[in-house]
A and B are shown apart, each in its own frame.
Chain A
Amino acid sequence: MTVQLLAGQLLLGLINGSFYALLSMGLAIIFGLMNVVNFAHGAQYMIGAFTAWFLLTNFGVPYWAALVIAPLIVAALAMIMERLLLRPLSNLDHLYGLLATYAIALIVEGLVRQRYGATGIPYDSPIKGGVHLGFMFLPWYRLWVVLFSVVTCVGTWFLIEKTRLGAYLRAANEMPQIVESFGINVPKMITLTYGFGAGLAALSGVLAAPIYQVSPSMGSNVMIVVFAIVVIGGMGSISGAIITGYLLGIVEGLTKIVYPEGANMVVFVFMAAALMWRPDGMMKSN
């Protein structure tokens, strides 16, 4: 009994952690370059899932195509939003950026709920079946989610921390004027980065659709947990966000075995502890 239970909850934690990692990484990237706390991240995640469902039911677009199309659509919408809304606010106090994205999230979630209702809509898993590991049954789709998430996280981390493009991004965060004087179009880079972060959220949304149900509140529910994770990992630290995301997903899963009532609180307890012991974030060495 214990092995099955442990393995089952570990897998569940790893699945949740995969989404936490993807979402908090996107938040960290956007915050790192723009100093905007993207409150619409949850809404963008939810729209990603809804777009996949909408494409499937209305046009018969399969999951694999939606995995590409939905993030592109959301990224395009997000880039328009950045140009029209966030850029004019960018030279004000950063809290206006947060509040503007919050307002967008409120409107988007409200409209979707008004149109499609509050109940979750199931989305069929594109990979059926699984494998018996002796102590547990592992559905292929779940394995795919974990692998895909790890590859995406590591790939993005590599892109930003180890390539020339990433170096431009990081430099533009520190000294935008100087980077511009080297002939790099910083405003365009910001627009693309916001689109990329939002696209990542939508990608996570499509990935999540077959596991959790597609529902208007799926984004705002996960959002607050992701905020706590970003705070623990250290604001703007990409590796911190990824590692903390996976770890806390697993911690949450394990808590379900020991103390089920505390599972949805444990992340916040960790945040309080992190604020006490590592006030600058787990990954901040400076």
Chain B
Amino acid sequence: MNKTLLIAAVALVAALIAPVYIYPVLLMTILCFAIFASSFNLLLGYAGLLSFGHAMFFGTSAYITGYILKTTSISLELALIGGMLVSTVMAAIVGLLAIRRAGIQFAMITLAFSQFVYFVLLQAPFTGGENGMQGIPRNALFGLIDVKDSFHFYYVVLAVSALALFLFYRIVNSPFGEILRAIKDKEPRVESLGMKPEQFKYLAFVLSASLAGLAGALKATVFQFATLTDASWPISGEVILMTLLGGLGTLSGPMFGAAIVVILNDELAGLGEWALIAQGVILLVVIVFFRRGFVGEMAALLAKWKKPAAKTDAEATA
């Protein structure tokens, strides 16, 4: 327990001094995608539901938050909540339909709905179509605190991310989280205990979407623009990659995954298609060889290193 606290404290200190050394916008991008990947992790890692359309919540929320900030002068946090609310309502509707088909079809249905949302956003008058929405202002936080400077804004994003990840932690460690894991392992057994797995999956989907919405809303305020890319299916694929690469069903995995993929994209940005190709190759390697992801493999290595004799132990805990 103390060790966990120590790690958390070190991570916090590192996060606090990071913008002195690293470009704040890059750090904020990582944080946004860490929230996004965590939201996806809640669904796939804990409830076993593969959504291939999470970009619809991310992108829509980015547009809504941007629109609120552009057209009104309300404070920043309310705009973020506005974006989140819209993606939550959207998930409440999409979820009702998507949850009707079991297993792998859920992925296809969510992908199709996200494509629908993409076309709606393309044609909706307020989004700016192909050009996207530019010049989103960062209104003052609580109507008081000026966050126009990216260095200052970083701490806002960090605080929001910490809050979101804490929320995620509480969700997966609650009785609700336990039931989700039970559904993932053996759905009929949960049903035989008199519970309705569908309701829990539905709730997980909606919760996940509102977290994804928060990520999108933050992203719009970080970059100060929202584009159709945010709502496109490659983004849905990217968040899958982040989560699997970091470690499915682990708390810190999606953060590592988000950091690795964002930095990779940043490094390969000028090299045409190679960023996407690299993503495909990494995803393939993770699926075939490292299904536990970065954090899972590290944990297994650590356990092996501690107890060289008890090899099976490492396998069991990972």
Tell me if chain B binds chain A: yes
> Chain A: residues with CB nearer than 8 A to chain B?
35, 37, 85, 88-89, 92-96, 98-100, 102-107, 109-111, 113-114, 220, 224-225, 227-228, 230-231, 235, 261, 264-265, 267-269, 271-272, 275-276, 279
Closest Cβ of chain B: how far from A76's Cβ, in Å? 20
Pairwise interchain contact B109-A96, C-beta atoms closer than 8 A: no
Q: Name A224's closest neighbour in chain B (CB-CB).
A: B115
- Determine the distance from Cα of A217 to Cα of B107 in the docked complex, in whole angstroms: 21
B276 within 8 Å of A by Cβ?
A: yes
Q: Please list 21 pairs of residues, one from A and one from B, whose beta carbons are closer than 8 Å in the complex, sorted by A's number.
A: A88-B288, A93-B48, A100-B284, A103-B283, A103-B284, A105-B280, A106-B237, A110-B277, A114-B273, A114-B274, A224-B233, A228-B115, A231-B112, A235-B101, A265-B116, A268-B115, A268-B119, A272-B97, A275-B97, A275-B98, A275-B101
- Determine the distance from Cα of A264 to Cα of B115 in the docked complex, in whole angstroms: 9
Closest Cβ of chain B: how far from A46's Cβ, in Å? 14
Pairwise interchain contact A106-B277, C-beta atoms closer than 8 A: yes
- Determine the distance from Cα of A92 to Cα of B289 in the docked complex, in whole angstroms: 13
Closest Cβ of chain B: how far from A63's Cβ, in Å? 28
B70 within 8 Å of A by Cβ?
A: no
Closest Cβ of chain B: how far from A115's Cβ, in Å? 9
* Interface hub of A102, A103, A105 (most chain B Cβ within 10 A): A103
6 tightest Cβ-Cβ pairs between the two chains A and B: A106-B280, A107-B280, A268-B116, A110-B277, A114-B273, A103-B283
B123 within 8 Å of A by Cβ?
A: yes
Pairwise interchain contact B244-A99, C-beta atoms closer than 8 A: yes
A99 contact set on B, CB distance < 8 A: 50, 240, 244, 283, 287
Contact of A37 among B48, B104, B233, B284 (CB under 8 A): B104
Pairwise interchain contact B283-A102, C-beta atoms closer than 8 A: yes
> Chain B: residues with CB nearer than 8 A to chain A?
44, 48, 50, 97-98, 100-101, 103-105, 107-109, 111-113, 115-116, 119-120, 123, 233, 237, 240, 244, 272-274, 276-277, 279-281, 283-284, 287-288, 291
Pairwise interchain contact B287-A89, C-beta atoms closer than 8 A: yes
Contact of A265 among B50, B119, B244 (CB under 8 A): B119
- Determine the distance from Cα of A85 to Cα of B123 in the docked complex, in whole angstroms: 40
A interface SS class: helix
Pairwise interchain contact B274-A104, C-beta atoms closer than 8 A: no
Contact of A261 among B105, B108, B116, B123 (CB under 8 A): B123
Pairwise interchain contact B287-A103, C-beta atoms closer than 8 A: yes
Pairwise interchain contact B276-A106, C-beta atoms closer than 8 A: yes
Q: Name A31's closest neighbour in chain B (CB-CB).
A: B104
Pairwise interchain contact B109-A275, C-beta atoms closer than 8 A: yes
Pairwise interchain contact B280-A103, C-beta atoms closer than 8 A: yes
- Determine the distance from Cα of A269 to Cα of B119 in the docked complex, in whole angstroms: 12
- Determine the distance from Cα of A88 to Cα of B97 in the docked complex, in whole angstroms: 33
A103 contact set on B, CB distance < 8 A: 280-281, 283-284, 287
Pairwise interchain contact A265-B111, C-beta atoms closer than 8 A: no
B281 contact set on A, CB distance < 8 A: 103, 107
Q: Name A99's closest neighbour in chain B (CB-CB).
A: B287
A225 contact set on B, CB distance < 8 A: 115
Q: Name B117's closest neighbour in chain A (CB-CB).
A: A268
B100 contact set on A, CB distance < 8 A: 275, 279
Pairwise interchain contact A269-B284, C-beta atoms closer than 8 A: no
Closest Cβ of chain B: how far from A27's Cβ, in Å? 9
Q: A103-B283, A228-B112, A268-B115 are in contact. Are A110 and B104 (CB under 8 A)?
A: no
Pairwise interchain contact A113-B287, C-beta atoms closer than 8 A: no
Q: Name A111's closest neighbour in chain B (CB-CB).
A: B277
A110 contact set on B, CB distance < 8 A: 273-274, 276-277, 280
